[in-house]
Structure 1
Amino acid sequence: MSALKLDPGLDPAAAKPLFARFGRLHLPALLATPDAQRLAEALKRAPWSRTFLADGKGYDVPRADYAVTPEEVRREVEAAIARGGRTGFQFDFDTWRISDFLEAGQRQGGAVAELEAAYDLLNSPAFLDFVRKLTGDERPAYCDAQATRYRAGQFLTAHDDELAGKDRLYAYVLNLTPGWRVEWGGLLLFHDADGHVAEAYAPKFNTLNIFRVPQWHSVSQVASYVDQDRLAITGWIRGSKPG
């Protein structure tokens, strides 16, 4: 397996004025195209867990376990997710927490080798230097990462990503879904002070969404009729490494 590479045509200096003005950016063609395709294929094989809040408590349930959970328990879970979505902060999507494993020294290779390579790229001098030049900020020192999958009905409600002690500078989404249509949902929405959508980004293939923290945003619910997966690698660019 060869290392993943940034697209050689990237020019952070050209995009820097836009980022400075708006504090967010949708940037096409982050990776060399063959690398983006490899990574997209790897995401299809990820060992997914469903992540959600139930009555204020977070859960990561392996999809294989959820599939054999008794029906009455699943009904309770679905009801709790819906309650949270109606009344406050809630999320419901699938995850594989890449950086949690790697930070714990649990590099696995095999089916997740490409996802681990994405973490390596995000923490390489090439990517961190790209971010510094794009943002004009010398502080970025580390990127955490998780693989994410949104399927029909899944969503993420409004939040601003600020969390004490995490040293989050910027959030990012590396989109890896080919052929997504905007009417399918799964849009990254930025909220203004009046409760309107200030801007929305569709999850176009091989694009990077990057924005300053804090900033109110959400991911709109994927439509019930959609039979494709919204795939991405997401996380935060931080000013210090964990530990």
Structure 2
Amino acid sequence: MVDSNQLQDNRRDFKLARLTRAALNPSPFEQFKGWMDDALAAGLTDPTAMTLATVGEGGRPWQRMVLLKGFDQHGFIFYTNLGSRKAAEIAVNPQVSLQFPWLALDRQVIVGGRAEKLSITEVVKYFLKRPMQSRLAAWASRQSSRINSRQALESQYLQLKEKFADGEVPVPDFWGGFRVVPEEFEFWQGGEHRLHDRFNYRPDGSGGWQIDRLAP
């Protein structure tokens, strides 16, 4: 068993950088792009990985990691099985939260907004770009459903590999994607003595964004 004192004493100081109001881009999309560029340039493991939080039946939140597959002024895109738990919860409550944990840079970004289904055209365009193995895996896995064993999953994959041996793997009708349209951003930069820098962006009602510094 892990010693609770060991957990309590596990800490470090954050000294990599500071984040000032003057350094922030007026657009949270441009600010995010700059930080994503930094994460990519730093060679972080899985810089596009983001925690997606949804709220399910009874108001219970649930989180999982998904991969960001595109972003622009309209929102943040990810793909998934439309029968998955995340998709089912989004269908009931489209309000979600994304979090990018760039811990090696002492940074995190949180995005809150509304998830909207992508068009069939967008889904097909991306699906056909995926590696053959990924397309087959999309068919093989009824995401979030109960399975008897790992062997059953792998057997299904091999059957599909034989079925689509010609390389033409169509888009499953149960597979799609979502765009999270942002309604709020938070940029966090770790600071010395736990005096972190936090800035929140919210729409200002006139097409721009109100930026507020938050206490850490």
Provide TM-score, normalisation by structure 1. Answer: 0.30
TM-score by length of 2: 0.32
Q: Which has the higher strand share?
A: 2
Max radius of gyration: which structure? 2
